[in-house]
């Protein structure tokens, strides 16, 4: 006892803070902050920001180290959906397997999904199916990160069934947009499919056991 307060009770807020999904919360706050700053800019400036951050072929060939992280923080006008999906999927994965697994899964899926989808564009340009203007098609957003983390949660035996179902529901918009048969829509569909595959594969690797923190879902 300390001043009439049990010491174990005093340590409870620190324990909750230590176990909180810091990566999921931080990324969600980054999306929200980026959106608030972006929406306050003039329309011309907003379009220029997105164009400069796009992971299109032209940028990937010149400044991939810049556009790959930059493109992941612009959610567009659907900020409400992305806040909910990011908090659910990233936080669930982090609580189940730790922050390292959440960061690596999202990062690998974002990079590989982008590379594969833009590689398809490059192949189609080389084959003469698309004009060179396709090198500049706008490609931004957190969807590959969210899709991969959702897939990892669904594929993980460590997460509760209800959490898996909720994360699986985030795939619905991706399945709907898969019926967009425009060139840009099909490229995005391929990227999302790759991101989902990455997440599902990551859930079965030893990476998901390197975090020393005891998973919250197993307590």
d(CA 141, CA 76): 7
Average pLDDT over residues 20-31: 94
Does 37 reside within a domain?
Answer: yes
Here the tokens at position 173 are 């918009």
Does 38 reside within a domain?
Answer: yes
Does 78 reside within a domain?
Answer: yes
Does 139 reside within a domain?
Answer: yes
> Cβ(24)–Cβ(145) under 8 Å?
no
pLDDT reported for residue 36: 95
Does 15 reside within a domain?
Answer: no
Tell me: pLDDT of 6 over 60: no
Does 195 reside within a domain?
Answer: yes
Tell me: pLDDT of 80 over 70: yes
Q: Which residues pair with 5 in a beta bridge?
A: 2
Helix 99-126 and helix 79-97, axial crossing angle in degrees, nearest 10? 130
> 118, 137, 30: which is closest to 74 by C-alpha?
30
> 112, 192, 101: which is closest to 146 by C-alpha?
192
Query: Phi, psi at residue 5, to the nearest 5°?
Result: -115, 125
Range of the domain at 181: 22-210
- Locus of tokens 């307060």: 5
159: DSSP letter: S
Q: Lowest mean pLDDT of 110-114, 154-158, 185-189, name the range.
A: 185-189
Structure pTM? 0.85
Here the tokens at position 49 are 């920001």
Q: What percent of the chain has pLDDT over 70?
A: 84
Average pLDDT over residues 59-85: 93
Tell me: pLDDT of 8 over 90: no
Count of domains observed in the chain: 1
CATH number assigned to the domain comprising residue 111: 1.20.1540
Q: Which residues pair with 2 in a beta bridge?
A: 5
pLDDT reported for residue 148: 97
């Amino acid at each position: 006892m300390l001043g009439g307060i049990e010491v174990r009770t005093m340590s409870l807020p620190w324990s909750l803070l230590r176990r909180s999904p810091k990566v999921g919360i931080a990324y969600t706050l980054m999306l929200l902050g980026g959106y608030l700053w972006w929406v306050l800019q003039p329309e011309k400036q907003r379009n220029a920001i997105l164009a400069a951050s796009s992971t299109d072929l032209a940028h990937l060939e010149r400044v991939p180290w810049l556009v790959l992280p930059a493109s992941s923080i612009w959610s567009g006008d659907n900020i409400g959906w992305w806040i909910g999906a990011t908090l659910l999927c990233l936080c669930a994965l982090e609580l189940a397997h730790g922050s390292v697994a959440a960061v690596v899964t999202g990062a690998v899926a974002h990079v590989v999904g982008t590379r594969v989808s833009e590689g398809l564009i490059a192949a189609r340009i080389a084959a003469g199916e698309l004009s060179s203007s396709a090198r500049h098609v706008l490609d931004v957003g957190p969807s590959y990160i969210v899709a991969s983390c959702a897939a990892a949660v669904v594929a993980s035996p460590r997460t509760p069934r209800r959490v898996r179902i909720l994360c699986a529901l985030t795939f619905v918009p991706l399945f709907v947009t898969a019926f967009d048969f425009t060139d840009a829509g099909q490229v995005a569909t391929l990227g999302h499919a790759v991101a989902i595959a990455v997440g599902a594969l990551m859930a079965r690797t030893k990476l998901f056991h390197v975090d020393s923190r005891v998973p919250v879902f197993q307590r």
